[in-house]
Amino acid sequence: MDLVIVEDVRLKMKQFPIFIGGLAHSGKTPLRLFLSKHPNLAFTRQTYMWNRFYNRYGDLGNRQNFEQCLADMLQTKGIQALQPDPERIRQEFGQGEATYGRLFALFHEHYAERAGKSRWGDQLGFVERFAEPIFAAYPQAKMIHMIRDPRDRYEVTMTLSRHRKGKVGWDTARWLHSAELTQKNQHLYPDQYKVVRYEMFCANPEELLREICLFLGEEFVPDMLAGNNINFDTNESDNGQDASGKATIQIDKTGDTRLSKGDLLFTQAYAKQQLLAFDYALESPQLSLSDRLLFYLVDWPVNYIGMAAWHMTGVRSQVRYSGN
């Protein structure tokens, strides 16, 4: 009986991984911290396996390619945190298909095994770009996409970094790309891809967790909510522990947008269709003649350049990450 249980655990590890995606400041970290308290789920973050290593070394059946890929992965801080055993990875990788997905899974499976968990998951921003190869590698995987109103999300980024001209154009292009990938992935993988609105998560974490557990095929465990310091504040980069090592959860409450009229108009002009598709209401600011002149002569062209700049770098990044 014990052998059957062990084999079932291994099967679950291999076939049912979980990925949390979406842009920064969209609630990925709080969701991961909640789910990490589930007795069956072991989550990691910022391993960067898919965007830094996928398809970057050629055929991993070639020993030299595999060793170079493994060596570079072992130099990554997020992967080092998993405390991998290189010799065990070499041995087990040689016993099956020489694919990137299988190599990545070994790191996570060993980590979950040491944590006494039966299933692994990974949090990675913009992982939605890799939905196709991820589901090809793990046909029964689940992906949760956190999405947030781009106007509120941009307001948070303004407080955390230096405001640059054209940045709202850059940020709008990035949000639109993520939103479009969401819609595409939902259509292609309707039973495996779930979108969670950040605002709903803030409003009722327990209800959303119950819904997510149902999606994952896991039982909701009340202890996921117990003992957490739920502070509605901004800290996407929180490492998940307070001074005592106890998990903390911080969520940034949404509120009335404080964007300039020009930034607000630009975001809504280009993201209107996707905003409405995700049930975000549009705002109608009162504009004076000087406001209109400022928008058309300054805000619009500067932000349009920012949007074009993101598309140039974003396309190059996608080509590089795909290995083409």
- Which CATH number do you get for residue 115? 3.40.50.300
Residue 95 within any structural domain of the chain: yes
Residue 248 within any structural domain of the chain: no
| Domain count within the chain | 1
| pLDDT per residue as tens digits for the range 11-40 | 555 569 999 999 989 999 999 999 999 999
The tokens describing 155, both together, are: 């307001």
Do β-strands 229-231 and 193-197 pair in parallel, antiparallel, or remain unpaired? unpaired
| pLDDT per residue as tens digits for the range 116-161 | 999 999 999 889 999 999 999 999 999 999 999 999 888 887 665 5
| pLDDT per residue as tens digits for the range 51-86 | 999 999 999 999 999 999 999 999 999 999 999 999
More confident residue, 245 or 101: 101
Residue 101 within any structural domain of the chain: yes
Q: Quote the pLDDT of residue 274.
A: 94
* DSSP character string of 14-52: HH--EEEEE-TTSSHHHHHHHHHTSTTEEEEE---HHHH
Q: Quote the pLDDT of residue 15.
A: 65
Residue 290 within any structural domain of the chain: yes
Residue 21 within any structural domain of the chain: yes
For the chain, the average pLDDT equals 83
* Contacts of 15 by beta carbon, 8 Å cutoff, 6+ apart: 138, 139, 140, 141
Residue 179 within any structural domain of the chain: yes
Residue 73 within any structural domain of the chain: yes
| pLDDT per residue as tens digits for the range 175-208 | 999 999 999 999 999 999 999 999 999 999 999 9
pLDDT band at 317 (very low <50, low <70, confident <90, very high): low
Residue whose tokens read 């499976």: 109
What range defines the domain where residue 109 resides? 2-227+255-322
> Residue 66's CB: how many other CB atoms inside 10 A?
20
